[in-house]
Chains A and B, each alone.
Chain A
């Protein structure tokens, strides 16, 4: 007797991510394949899980099997290499009764001890060895090995990412290519705040090799006007041209919030400015710049945009991957530097983000503009 594994489906319940994988797609032009693994197929699709949705529900996968008609076997999957970390771990043993046509489709296997919550955010390779036996006392027989890519997020994604409808035409389903980068940047973080901080630092550190602020020509928004050309940015990350190296604060805010929200954070892109005049900034190091200095020689911003939490007001925290500032804020002597992340926008002279960014004489005129908050669509 033999058993053949036909397919493995992680996202077996598109209506819910409790116990099932998230609805995702590969990128803007390619939908994901479900089942994610198909016997003989040249490619497999990754699967993504949200930790929050798997804490109170047991994760199941669905498999299609073929064997001799009207037979019964026990089936399980175990890590292919016991010395390698396997985030999904083994499955429980399931009893399979094959129908008269020798097929058993949609068999649910429960994961015995997945380690999603313990590891936090990450992208993992999972290699399984599939085994069966035809009686309880018989030894296990290997019948297949499979390789999978598992992406672990903290919570279901927030806008611009959506989970419904699960259709090939829905380009706002989370992109696996975005999740790969986000998981890499925020690896092993356990909270949305920590993941957002890690992503902010990672985006800032993309300069100057991948992206950089460019002062000439006023530096208009490049990747995110009017919506986010995420495909081009992914090209840029992959070493291709994309839309070139130029980014400004709007681009950085969009990148941070979009990638963090794919992991379940809840950030917006929102602006601060004065409706009448530009505001003067402290000395800072813009993304990709080699040293600190006055912004573009003049020290002024027309506006500034950051990834912002909550209502994007003075009370809410910001994440700014566009620049590095002195800490503490002038006029105190800045003894250290940091990329602002998870810091309150605050009031003038309140020792908060506004003080780090804006020079003392402009702190009262630079105002949070919550009405500008938005989440750009990805394409």
Chain B
């Protein structure tokens, strides 16, 4: 939201040196599909988590943490720690997002900076209720209505978990296959009172090797995100703009929206490993065959 001259003014105001920032970027820290595991905050638990992909690229994950030392309160008076994590496709986009966030302060305020080592660059509000820091391609915002703990320490903990996490350079492939199947009525079609009311699809694909998994469409803007829970395997996560996942008695199916071309349709599949790293497995449909995108 900020204009270039406003960004320059902020850089100058807070002494953010481009070269320093660039040097930090050159450390190469790059996070993909980062997901909080619940150990980032001592004596706290995740009460609510939500992911969505941002328009124009990027991804947001919001977590609401309830601290165990909270006094018993009624729900509206809960005082959770909110951590919003944003991933972007590049360092430059993340930096733009940081400036954008600083542009969201409605009244003039002199922000402090976080301790050395917390993020590439970070800010804290004078009242200590909001901390935002940039690390590589990710931006993190931590807020608490009544700060019962030092959010700077919380930021340091989150940043520590973030940077401790092994980042894989080579994406691994999830162990399943996608094959085109003869299209049959989707669940939406079966729910429609008349055949002509049903959303039409261009093609249908079966996701093989995912027995026992079930699809649960999460709240998301666009594209679609589906979490696949499996009792005997890792959680898989699927993103797609061009269709949707259905879970029926014959397994998991991907339905390609009518009007979408198999030549350009793409799904991204991620496997959440034990240590929380999400390994990328992106596939693109070309000429009716799924091929690796990486």
Contact = CB atoms under 8 A, between A and B. Distances in A.
Interface string A7-41: 10100111100000000000011000011000000
A226 interface: yes
B107 A301 contact: yes
A215 B107 contact: yes
A81 interface: no
Interface stretch (A114-122, A246-254, A312-320, A357-365): A246-254
B99 interface: no
B215 to A, nearest CB: 10
Contacts of A13: 197
B122 interface: no
Contacts of A250: 104, 106
A227 B75 CA distance: 24
A168 interface: yes
A300 interface: yes
Interface stretch (B33-41, B186-194, B206-214, B273-281): B186-194
B99 to A, nearest CB: 12
A226 B75 contact: no
Interface centre among A166, A168, A250, by most B CB within 10 Å?
A168
A29 B218 contact: yes
B192 A34 contact: yes
A218 B109 contact: yes
A85 interface: no
A34 B106 contact: no
B107 A14 contact: no
Given A12-B197, A13-B197, A172-B221, A217 B109 contact: yes
B125 A218 contact: yes
B188 A379 contact: no
A300 B188 CA distance: 53
Contact of A12 (B193, B244, B245): B193
Interface stretch (A141-149, A235-243, A324-332): A235-243
Contact of A302 (B62, B75, B86, B105): B105
Contacts of A296: 107
A96 interface: no
Contacts of A295: 107
B101 interface: yes
B193 A220 contact: no
A355 interface: no
Given A166-B199, A171-B219, A172-B222, A218 B107 contact: yes
B199 A217 contact: no
Contacts of A126: none
B226 to A, nearest CB: 8
Contacts of B109: 217-218
A249 B106 contact: yes
Contacts of B220: 171, 379
B166 interface: no
Contacts, number: 151
Contacts of B80: 241
A64 B219 contact: no
A158 B182 CA distance: 37
Given A229-B62, A245-B145, A378 B221 contact: yes
A235 to B, nearest CB: 9
A279 to B, nearest CB: 10
A71 interface: no
A2 interface: no
A244 interface: yes
Given A12-B197, A379-B50, A379-B219, A217 B106 contact: no
Interface string B167-210: 00000000000000000000010011110010100000000000
A280 to B, nearest CB: 11
Given A218-B105, A302-B106, A377-B221, A227 B5 contact: no
A349 interface: no
Contacts of B75: 239-241
Given A217-B130, A278-B108, A301-B107, A168 B188 contact: yes
Contacts of B64: 241
B126 A216 contact: yes
Contacts of B52: 227, 379
Interface in B6-29: 6, 9
A57 interface: no
A70 interface: no
A226 B100 contact: yes
A280 B222 CA distance: 39
A249 to B, nearest CB: 6
B54 A226 contact: yes
A334 interface: no
A379 B106 contact: no
Nearest to A9: B193
Contacts of B108: 218, 278, 298, 300, 302
A275 B2 CA distance: 9
B223 to A, nearest CB: 9
Interface string A128-160: 000000000000000000000000000000000
Interface of B: 1, 3, 5-6, 9, 50, 52, 54-55, 60, 62, 64, 75-78, 80, 82, 86, 97, 100-101, 103-109, 111, 125-130, 141, 143, 145, 188, 191-194, 197, 199, 217-222, 224, 226, 244-245, 257
Given A169-B244, A171-B222, 12 more contacts: A14-B197, A14-B199, A34-B193, A106-B194, A171-B220, A216-B126, A229-B62, A244-B143, A298-B107, A301-B106, A302-B108, A377-B55
20 contacts: A12-B193, A29-B217, A62-B194, A167-B188, A216-B129, A217-B125, A217-B127, A218-B107, A218-B126, A220-B106, A226-B86, A229-B62, A236-B76, A239-B75, A240-B76, A241-B78, A302-B103, A372-B1, A377-B55, A379-B220
The 9 lowest CB-CB distance pairs between A and B, nearest first, are A218-B109, A217-B125, A218-B105, A28-B219, A217-B127, A169-B244, A221-B104, A216-B127, A377-B221
